[in-house]
Amino acid sequence: MVLHRRALLAIATLCLTGCASYSSKAIGSIDNQNPAFNSADCQTARQNAWVHEDLKQIKLVAGPSLLLFAGPVLAIPVLLANVGLNTADHLKANDIKSLCAGKALTPDELTQSIVIDTGLAAATAALLPGGTALASKP
């Protein structure tokens, strides 16, 4: 059973490494014909988005690896790190959309999106050996 979980985790990690960060998706969704697209603020925001793309790739490998080697001791710190990085990525994506004449999310929509990501991270962590510590276990 443990071997199946590790194989499933490895496959999921490889599949997820192709996903783009929210900042990259925001850049792809804005209209490059809009005059705001060429503004200095928009260009700066777009140029700084690469950080979130790199962090997403790193956390997709580092988080599960830490949990595999250290076990449930690091479950909460890894989850909190993921929440922090996801929140920063969401905020940057919303900033890019607002500066580049895209459709920025309302604060409620932004919060909802972050909560959904956190739930997915917790559900994914439950697949790890020892990750069931995040689930309700006495």
Which residues neighbour 83 within 8 Å (Cβ) at sequence distance 6 or greater?
A: 114, 117, 118, 121
Count of structural domains, the chain: 1
For range 70-81, the mean pLDDT: 85
Question: Which pLDDT score is estimated for 8?
Answer: 55
- Residue 45, judged by CB atoms within 10 A of its CB (0-12, 13-18, 19+), counts as buried
- How far apart, in whole angstroms, are the C-alpha atoms of residue 14 and residue 20? 13
Using DSSP, state whether 20 is helix, strand or coil: coil
- How far apart, in whole angstroms, are the C-alpha atoms of residue 105 and residue 9? 32
- Residue 27, judged by CB atoms within 10 A of its CB (0-12, 13-18, 19+), counts as buried
Question: Which pLDDT score is estimated for 114?
Answer: 86
| Boundaries of domain holding 55 | 2-134
At residue 70 the predicted structure's pLDDT band, cuts being 50, 70 and 90, is confident
Residues found in the chain? 138
Question: What secondary structure letter does DSSP report for 35?
Answer: G
- How far apart, in whole angstroms, are the C-alpha atoms of residue 126 and residue 106? 31
- Give the pTM: 0.72
At residue 95 the predicted structure's pLDDT band, cuts being 50, 70 and 90, is very high
CB 4 within 8 A of CB 127: no
Tell me: pLDDT of 121 over 70.
Answer: no
Structure tokens at 18: 């192709």
